[in-house]
Amino acid sequence: MTTAFLDRDGVINEKPQAGRYVTTSREFRFLPGSVGAIRLLNEAEVRVIVVTNQRGVALGVMGMEQLQGVHHHMLKELRAAGAHLDAIYCCPHAENSCDCRKPGIGLFLRAKSEFPDIAFDEAYVIGDSDRDMEAGRRLGARLIRIGQPTSLDESGALSLFEAVTLYIVAADRKPAS
């Protein structure tokens, strides 16, 4: 089974301004097409795992309970739309204090311990930052950067939905040679 590791802020939901954090379900807003993209991954039998840095916990901007509330809201909205996540892994630590904070790969290794059939060289890491891409490179995974220029839309930015339809679902449907 192929696995797609998704960053959260800036990939699934609107990314808050620098120095700000999504601390409540009211502040959590799905990006256009992200729910549909996750549903497409589910339909293609791709395991979908969110791997997210949430430094706001370490800074005291929010507690783990608040973060879990945001994730509960996200999961509930996805279920209502016929989509689901297989797991969410979160690093609540400060910079340079752990091995799980991306670009570290600790969260990915934790996912592999819980889903032993994950093959990093067949997995996708989909993110919007250098940290996401560096973590994916360290794993030897396939990389897709959201927000990078493309000719597909007027904004010139690749969305999660475009990434999933172009690179994952379309690749899965190509006939074997």
β-pair type (47-53, 87-91): parallel
pLDDT of residue 177: 46
Residues of the domain holding 43:
3-173
pLDDT (tens digit, 9 = 90+) per residue, 39-85? 999 999 999 999 999 999 999 999 999 999 999 999 999 999 999 99
Q: How many domains does the chain have?
A: 1
pTM: 0.91
Indicate which CATH number applies to the domain containing 117: 3.40.50.1000
No. of H helices and E strands in the chain? 6, 5
DSSP state of 101: S
Residues in contact with 67: Cβ distance below 8 Å, sequence separation at least 6, in sequence order: 54, 56, 57, 90, 92
Mean of the pLDDT values across residues 9-37?
A: 94
Would you place residue 148 in the very low, low, confident or very high pLDDT band (cuts 50, 70, 90)?
low
Residues in contact with 118: Cβ distance below 8 Å, sequence separation at least 6, in sequence order: 3, 47, 111, 112
pLDDT (tens digit, 9 = 90+) per residue, 101-133? 999 999 999 999 999 999 999 999 999 999 999
Please determine, for residue 154, whether its predicted confidence score (pLDDT) is greater than 80.
no
Tell me the H-state helices in the chain: 34-43, 64-80, 106-114, 130-139, 160-163, 170-173
Please determine, for residue 171, whether its predicted confidence score (pLDDT) is greater than 80.
no
Alpha-carbon distance of 144 to 165, in angstroms, equals 12
> Are the beta carbons of 133 and 5 closer than 8 angstroms?
no
Which positions are catalytic? 7, 9
pLDDT of residue 170: 74
